[in-house]
Amino acid sequence: MLLSKLAIFSSLFLFSCSSYLIQAEEIKPENLKCGSSSDVDFYKKNGLFTLVSKNFYNKLKRIDSNFNKDDFNFIYVSNPQSSGGYVLELEKIIKKKDNHQIYFKENKPPEGSSSIAAITATYCFLKIDNLDQVVVFIK
Amino acid sequence: MKNISKILAILSLPLILSACGGGGGSGGAAAGGVGTGTVTNCTDGGGSTHKDTEYDYFSSVYHSLKPLTAVCASSAYARGATGDGIQVAVVDTGIHETHTDINANMIAYTTGSDTVNSDNDASDDHGHGSHVAGIIAAEHNSSGGHGVAYDAEIYGFKAFNSSGSGTDASTGGAFALIEAIAAIDIVNNSWSTNANCTSASTCRSAIGSTTYDNWEDMSQLSTPKITVFAAGNDSEDEPSAECQTMAYNTDISAVSICVVAVSHSSLGKDGGFLASFSNQCGKAASYCMAAPGDRLLSLRHNSNGYVYKNGTSMAAPMVSGGLALVMQEFSSLTPAQVVSRLLSTANDSGEYSQTAIYGHGMMNLNAATTAVANLQTINGSNLLDDPSTGYNDLVNNTFTSSAAFSNALTNALAGQTMEVYDSFDRANFETNVSSFFTSGSYTSQNTVENHMARLQPKTMEKVKTKNLYGNFTVETDGNYIESSMFQSAGDFLALGFNQSTNSFENAVDPLSGFFNDSNFGNNYLVNPYFHAGSGQDYFMSFNSNSSFGMDTFTNANGNDLGLAFNLNPLSSTSGDAKNAGDLQIVLGTNYEQNKFLNSSSTGVFATGDMSNTNFTGVKYKKNLGDDFTFVGSGFAGYTHIDKASNSYIDKSTPLLTSTFTLGLAKANFIKKNQRIGFFINQPQRVEDGSLNLRVPTSSDRDRTVTYSNLNVDLEPDARQINYDIIFHKAVTETSNLSANLTHVQNGDHSNSSKDQNFISLFYKKTF
């Protein structure tokens, strides 16, 4: 934990002038929640959502009714897939001068595996300090 | 903050475009004509439109669940099918087993039921499995909707992780556990492997050897498990590898169904066509059907709430639930026959006639729980499929009971059921035993028509011809010969045709003449064991010196053969005619073919060729002065019912029956030309005896039938007494007036019968 804090601090220091990098593993576990959902009303409007988004709070609650607005300030919901088994991973966040660049990676189900046969979307909830404008990259 | 929103809006477009492919809901119409036909469902076996309205007792819940209306579930519910007693395994992401809308239907997790984490806790950490389980068996209670088979029980197995991904080890491991649990009937698999295969071996490779082998093992059990698989959501012409496997493994295909999804939300509006995301049945068409899978509401996994989901994942449990209903409804069907029935009864008309897309068509639970072919009775065999087992169409099984015991029979059969079988697959249907029985009635003798007949003076013209041996009498009505009798003088000899009475009434009974030669009294005074009425009855009577006689009786059908010896120790013809009495003592026997006490039956209720009644009776008439005549008769019989082979009428104790009549008649009543009579009569009634019906009441998946005994005490719960007053007045030589009042107490020997009164007036003038 100490090491993690140190890494975050270092990143902030290194990129303080123009940009700095936050690796996924540096995010506190309570500030990152990724998963998948087959809830039609959750994924029907997908993309990225912040606290100002109309559907932000609703999406939060659809995943877990215990979540509060204070828990996260950014949600990304992927385009729905034909089955389960997809996994969305946060790779890194780059804080630029006037925005946050958030990099996700969506992994397909493992080769030869079976998957639940419901239309499913992956998602990640994030709490990012001093969240600015956001750009999301998916690979 | 506004700037952030603007940028989000701008950035959202490339984000969506850059998302990975395979998106659900955007597949469009699949090749092969999806959406080109018309869609109807809920058709009965005859194909006529059947509106799904039988389920009005909880309509507000039911009709909010569009998928249930789309598959005509209410018709199955109306027939009592709820999934009760059927156990369904859900191999999925686990189940929210404490959800208040399914917890009562959950079986406790079995050891090792979480094959992902190798533990015993198959709780749901994704939500998919809870949703699937709810579609099958969410409870019918005050909260939310309910599953297709809302009384079925659910075994939960967690073979998919929180991302919805499973391995050959996890799914195969779940199958191994299920194989070992005999109670599990159906295995729902709302998951798939997106791969093609072209043989059993390539399919085995595609879905994993452990999964394949254990699935095959489940299918080869003596009581195999039915497996249901989702076809997958890739909008492709071919279904998942699991569904394709059904095309290459006959053991598996015999008890498996692949399910494609239709968009139920558009039923009746846009057509209920294949959902845009759903794969088609393709090469698995012979083992494939359609069910609603688009926007189904079911259980949430992390609260007691509900959530909508899309996919063939949702269509598969609709079919698993449907199978549970059919399986419960028809305990005689093997698992393979349950599958066959659901597939065979699917709606394959219009849009659903496209086999490559919909396989057998849209699931129809009305048709699946209705007779596909003729319903038939089984001929007493315990084995449904034995070559020697015979079946009869329902119309060929009847029992028309005598009013002597019909009341007792009706009471005893109330609420009693038996099984009959669909000739399509011998699916067992329950029917009321009483549906085969028709009750005879005595009160019909008192209809206005019969009253009139009783009062109406005979129009027959008696033609008497003297010959060497005596008189030959022919009675005609118009051009029709109603009866004829050769009657000797002195030592009495009568040969009769179509006589409704015997020698005593014909030759001796002065009442006939007393009531203007009418038929009055005949029904009360004749021998009740000689069942005339066919219109072509034959009998012979011999009477020697009025002290000894013999009657024989048969009818044209040869069904009855009777013989009675009559002793006449007193006779008015041999003494003081004014005050003498007539006494006749009767001893006789009667044989009835395929009936007893004039109760006829056919098919599985048939009786043997030789049911026999031994009877005795006494008849007495005495003049009490010039004008008064007393008459009385009483009969008692002892009936042995002959058992027919393969009949449900099994054993019986002999039936003791009785009949009696007492009467008083007065001529010159007030005036010379007036007559009156008063009679009390009890029609034939069973005083003691019982009948044992052995009817099929249950059948098992091993195709054996169990019979139950239904012992029926045939003594009615009351005694019918008729009170008759008859008045006759000769107004002129060519006209007369008659009146008949009958009061019937406990009609048909039933204490629930209201007293009945019949009044008839008759006036006749001859021009």
Question: Which pLDDT band holds residue B578 (cuts at 50, 70, 90)?
Answer: low
User: What span, in angstroms and rounded, lies between the C-alpha atoms of B82 and B85?
Assistant: 9
B447 and B347, same structural domain? no
Would an 8 Å CB–CB cutoff place B1 in contact with chain A? yes
- CA nearest to A118 within chain B: B311
**What are the φ and ψ backbone dihedral angles of A50, each rounded to 5 degrees?**
-120, -175
Would an 8 Å CB–CB cutoff place B12 in contact with chain A? yes
Residue carrying structure tokens 């199978």: B323
Write out the two tokens for B568.
């006449």
β-sheet with A114-116: strand ranges across: B165-166, A114-116, B191-192
User: What span, in angstroms and rounded, lies between the C-alpha atoms of B663 and B630?
Assistant: 6
Partners of B723 in beta bridges = B680, B743
| Average pLDDT value for residue range B320-348 | 97
User: What span, in angstroms and rounded, lies between the C-alpha atoms of B383 and B705?
Assistant: 6
CA proximity to B231, closest of B184, B295, B274: B274
Residue B92 in domain: yes
Which residues contact residue A47 at a Cβ distance below 8 angstroms, ignoring those fewer than 6 apart?
A76, A77, B8, B12, B15, B16
What is the three-class DSSP state of B605? Answer: helix
Interchain pair B127, A39: CB under 8 A: yes
User: What span, in angstroms and rounded, lies between the C-alpha atoms of B23 and B523?
Assistant: 86
- CA nearest to A98 within chain B: B4
User: What span, in angstroms and rounded, lies between the C-alpha atoms of B36 and B272?
Assistant: 11
pLDDT above 90: residue A88 = yes
Q: Comparing B18-32, B279-293, B507-521, B691-705, which segment has the lowest mean pLDDT?
A: B18-32
State how beta strands A74-77 and A121-126 pair: antiparallel
B340 and B458, same structural domain? no
Interchain pair A113, B12: CB under 8 A: no
Residues of B in contact with A47 (CB under 8 A): 8, 12, 15-16
Residue B727 in domain: yes
**Which of A48, A64, A82, A123 to mutate to test binding with chain B, by most B CBs within 10 Å of its CB?**
A82
B480 and B564, same structural domain? yes
Single out the residue in B368, B387, B420 at which a domain terminates.
Answer: B368
- Quote the pLDDT of residue B228: 98
- Quote the pLDDT of residue B508: 36
Question: Which pLDDT band holds residue B762 (cuts at 50, 70, 90)?
Answer: confident
Taking the CA of residue A63 and the nearest CA in chain B, the distance in Å comes to 8
Residue B375 in domain: no
| Average pLDDT value for residue range B238-250 | 98
Partners of B674 in beta bridges = B729
User: What span, in angstroms and rounded, lies between the C-alpha atoms of B197 and B244?
Assistant: 7
The ipTM value here is: 0.85
Beta strands in B142-181 (DSSP E): 153-158, 165-166
Question: Do B106 and B130 contact (CB within 8 A), yes or no?
Answer: no
Closest Cβ–Cβ partner in B12, B22, B160 for A81: B22
Q: Scan residues 298-317 of B and list those with Cβ closer than 8 Å to A.
A: 302-303, 305, 307-314, 316
What is the three-class DSSP state of B65? Answer: coil
Residue B575 in domain: yes
B361 and B450, same structural domain? no
Q: Other C-beta atoms within 10 Å of B485: how many?
A: 22
User: What span, in angstroms and rounded, lies between the C-alpha atoms of B599 and B689?
Assistant: 15
* CATH number reported for the structural domain that contains residue B65 in this entry: 3.40.50.200
Single out the residue in B368, B397, B429 at which a domain terminates.
Answer: B368
pLDDT above 50: residue B28 = no
Tens of pLDDT, residue by residue over B605-657, are 999 988 999 999 888 877 787 788 888 889 999 999 999 988 999 888 999 99
Question: Which pLDDT band holds residue B530 (cuts at 50, 70, 90)?
Answer: confident
* CATH number reported for the structural domain that contains residue B494 in this entry: 2.40.160
Domains in chain B: how many in total?
Answer: 2
Residue B535 in domain: yes
| Average pLDDT value for residue range B396-410 | 93
User: What span, in angstroms and rounded, lies between the C-alpha atoms of B84 and B734?
Assistant: 77
Q: Report in angstroms the alpha-carbon separations of B535 from B494, B495, B541, B555.
A: 19, 16, 18, 8
User: What span, in angstroms and rounded, lies between the C-alpha atoms of B566 and A116?
Assistant: 90
- Quote the pLDDT of residue B672: 85
B487 is in which domain, residue-wise? 443-765
Write out the two tokens for B157.
């197995």
Tens of pLDDT, residue by residue over B104-162, are 999 999 999 999 999 999 999 999 999 999 999 999 887 778 999 999 999 999 999 99
Tens of pLDDT, residue by residue over B663-714, are 888 888 888 888 888 889 899 999 999 999 999 999 999 999 999 999 999 9
Question: Do B411 and B710 contact (CB within 8 A), yes or no?
Answer: no
Single out the residue in B340, B368, B396 at which a domain terminates.
Answer: B368
Tens of pLDDT, residue by residue over B316-327, are 999 999 999 999
Question: Do B528 and B648 contact (CB within 8 A), yes or no?
Answer: no
